[in-house]
Amino acid sequence: MASNFFQNNIVDMNDLWYNSHKKLIKRIAAELNASDKQDELIEKFIGKPLKIKKQKDPLIPKRPKSSFLFFCDEHRKKVMEKNPSLKMGPVMKELGSLWGKCKNKEKYEKIAQKAKVEYEAALEEYNDNNYYD
């Protein structure tokens, strides 16, 4: 997205500007034998750096699930039906122990591998269609 690209370039430029001016003030303070006042001078003349976050593109493909997460999707409902009083933390602990005992991990690893291949293809298509420079 072009606006994200522009926003992220502004963030980079702001950081570059602030750091170059800060370095300049430090050099001048060292030249004038006022190194003890450099922090005060930086605060007085350029202030604190702006807090601007880089934006993520909402169109970028989401990372694929791991084999464990595919296992959890399949078994979470069963674990919650067996123990309806459990909250999500203990349910995940139970799923983790079931995953450790699981003999058929290859099934989930194949699903995860397929999802990874699909993700890489979608990411390549995204990168081909959304290149700004």
Per-residue model confidence as pLDDT tens digits over 48-86 = 888 888 888 888 899 999 999 999 999 999 888 888 888
pLDDT value of position 9: 84
pLDDT value of position 119: 95
pLDDT value of position 51: 86
Domain boundaries defined on the chain: 2-45, 67-129
Decide if 7 contacts 55 (C-beta within 8 A).
yes
pLDDT value of position 88: 87
* Cα distance between residue 115 and residue 66, in whole Å: 9
Specify the pTM. 0.60
Token pair listed for 102: 């699981």
pLDDT value of position 108: 92
pLDDT value of position 11: 85
In the chain, which stretches have pLDDT less than 70? 1-3, 131-133
Vertex 102: Cα angle to 69 and 86 (nearest 5):
60
* Whole-number Cα distances in Å, 118 to 64, 80, 83: 8, 30, 35
Q: Which of 101, 46, 99 is nearest to 70 (CA)?
A: 99
* Cα distance between residue 106 and residue 97, in whole Å: 17
Decide if 108 contacts 67 (C-beta within 8 A).
yes
pLDDT value of position 65: 94
Contacts of residue 86, Cβ cutoff 8 Å, sequence gap at least 6: 79, 80, 94
pLDDT value of position 86: 84
* Cα distance between residue 109 and residue 26, in whole Å: 55
Class of the domain covering 67-129: mainly alpha
